[in-house]
Amino acid sequence: MTPSASVVDLRRDFHRHPEVGFCEFRTASRAAGILADLGWDVLVGADAMAPDSRLGVPEPTVLDAAYRRAARDGADDRFLPAMRGGLTGVLATLRGNRPGPVTALRADLDALPLAESADEAHLPAREGFRSLWPGAMHACGHDGHVAVALTIAGRLADRDFPGTVRLVLQPAEEGGRGAAAMVEAGAVDDVDVFLAAHLGLGLPTGSVCPAIPGLLANSKLRATFHGTAAHAAMAPERGRHALLGAAAAAVAVHTMPPYSGHETRVNVGMLTSGTSSNIVPDTAVMLLETRADEGAVNEELERRVRATLTGAAGMYGLDLDVELVGSVTTAPNDPDVARAVEAAARAAGATVTGPGAGIASDDATAFMRRVRAHGGVAGYLGIGADSPAPHHATRFDIDEAALPVAVNVLDRVLRGGLDLS
């Protein structure tokens, strides 16, 4: 892969090597290398993110295995060592040839823990760029995000733009775990205009939604139920059945009512307990989340979900630990940014559209809030990309025709030097 690789080639390379949050050793180090070769100032590791502000960091053995796999298979040795232990953020900065504001674009790096479809109807399978790494998949378009950002970086190497452009390559967007640590390291403290873009979102290829509203606040929890093991036939009464407590909790969490006048969501997305049919399981681990279109509502949901977990543990005589492993807040779109994006989209020949039906969360909002707190402006745009399946499904795929559209629109916005007067 070279700086001049096409956006499609870049995307397929990343698609083949999907890495989940804080494990993006190959993705991040290769991106850093490409950016450095293009002349950008590059910061990685503890210079790009505050290690202690990360949430939901995987176990050391998981990080190590991912690190070794990346080292074996394409990581850039110049940047890899600084990333050890999951410091997989990258900041790249380039000054233009005339004065102007600091404009930042965020791209996220991580894949999802999903087994990608091997069906012939799935383009990556048919064309041979399906995930090489079992149990991980780019099912949310982040492979495209990185490819687009690096392609724009190549174009901007001509320095024909006002002010300064910053690329913020963020790990662990899934789960809302990575942005806060980059914010904490000061990644956007000097930024005047902040942009995050997402491919797909139910919008058709060729369209751009200048301001995606309703990004949801989101709390991710890991709940661990501790019971007592026992022989299931000889002395079941001496056990305390962690699996049953967790199962009851999972069902009860999903009975949370919708909040009138709000978009709210809960989900128990992972549950694992026990090893054998003849043992009362002593431990159960659950990953779950709450979301709402208002921070205070999400906080109330989180409180109610925690009470539900506590009650379920009490029902089955279990102890309970609940850890916050991800946290995302809301942020509004600044109209100035939306207008600039809309103008760039029209100029680039894209169709301007409203938001699709889907709603989601993105911890890009952490950057947006910091930039606004410092007097800057921020926006979150959607770039249409047809997909045969919804985000996070095993047959999700972005229409690659959307990639040049994204490059053209974002290049134009970044290069435009958004006039904030």
Sites for a copy of itself among residues 316-335 (CB under 8 A): 316-317, 326
Q: 44: which 2 tokens?
A: 């990685």
DSSP 348-363: TTPEE----S-----T
Using the rule CB under 8 A, which residue among 134, 237, 373, 375 binds a copy of itself?
Answer: 237
Residues 358-417 that bind a copy of itself (CB under 8 A): 358-361, 390-394
Among 39, 58, 81, 113, interactor with a copy of itself by CB under 8 A: 113
Angle subtended at Cα 420 by Cα 417 and Cα 421, rounded to the nearest 5 degrees = 125
Q: Which residue from 324, 414, 394 is spatially nearest to 140, judged by alpha carbons?
A: 394
Residues 6+ apart with CB under 8 A from 421: none
Residues 17 to 56: which contact a copy of itself by CB under 8 A? none
The answer to whether the beta carbons of residues 294 and 330 sit under 8 Å apart is yes
Least distance (Å) between residue 296 CB and a copy of itself:
12
Q: What is the DSSP letter of 113?
A: S
| Strand-pair partners of 378 | 194
Distances (CA, A) of 339 to 70, 167, 344, 402: 41, 21, 9, 21
Q: Cα–Cα distance between 380 and 306 in angstroms, integer?
A: 31
254 is in an annotated binding site: no
What track of x and - describes contact with a copy of itself for positions 124 through 163 (by CB under 8 A)? Answer: -----------x----------------------------
Minimum Å distance from CB 332 to a copy of itself? 19
255 binds a copy of itself per the rule CB under 8 A: yes
We find the least distance from the C-beta atom of residue 380 to a copy of itself, in angstroms, to be 15
Scanning 93-101, 122-130, 257-265, 340-348 for contacts with a copy of itself by CB under 8 A, the matching segment is 257-265
Residue type, 340: A
Q: Is 392 annotated as a binding residue?
A: yes
Give the one residue of 30, 166, 220, 415 binding a copy of itself; rule: CB under 8 A: 220
The Cα–Cα gap between 153 and 167 comes to 8
Decide: is 354 part of the binding site for a copy of itself (CB under 8 A): no
Q: Does 197 bind a copy of itself (CB under 8 A)?
A: no
- Selected from 88, 170, 205, 273, the binder of a copy of itself by CB under 8 A is 273
Residue 224 DSSP code: E
Q: Does 281 bind a copy of itself (CB under 8 A)?
A: yes
- 12/391 with CB nearer a copy of itself: 391
- Rounded Cα gap, residues 354 and 26, in angstroms: 36
Work out which of 45, 96, 175, 379 binds a copy of itself, going by CB under 8 A: 175
Q: Is 174 annotated as ligand-binding?
A: yes
Among 4, 6, 97, 272, binds a copy of itself (CB under 8 A): 272
Q: Provide the token pair at 330.
A: 């809301």
Give me the least distance between CB of 172 and a copy of itself, in Å please: 12
Q: Max Cα separation, the chain? A: 80
Residue with Cβ nearer a copy of itself (268 or 344): 268
200, 387 Cβ separation under 8 angstroms: yes
Query: Contacts with a copy of itself in 286-305 (CB under 8 A)?
Result: 287-289, 291, 304
CA dist 89 → 42, 76, 83, 393 (Å) = 10, 14, 8, 26
Count residues binding a copy of itself (CB under 8 A). 87
CB of 80 or CB of 248, closer to a copy of itself: 248
In the list 59, 61, 77, 276, the residue contacting a copy of itself (rule: CB under 8 A) is 276
Residues 6+ apart with CB under 8 A from 64: none
Q: What residues pair up with 226 in beta bridges, in sequence order? A: 283, 319
Q: Which of 38, 221, 338, 413 binds a copy of itself (CB under 8 A)?
A: 221
Torsion angle, alpha carbons of 57, 59, 64, 69, to 10: -80
**Window 55 to 84, contacts with a copy of itself (CB under 8 A):** none
The binding site for Mn(2+) consists of: 140, 142, 174, 198, 392
Pick out the residues of the known binding site: 140, 142, 174, 198, 392
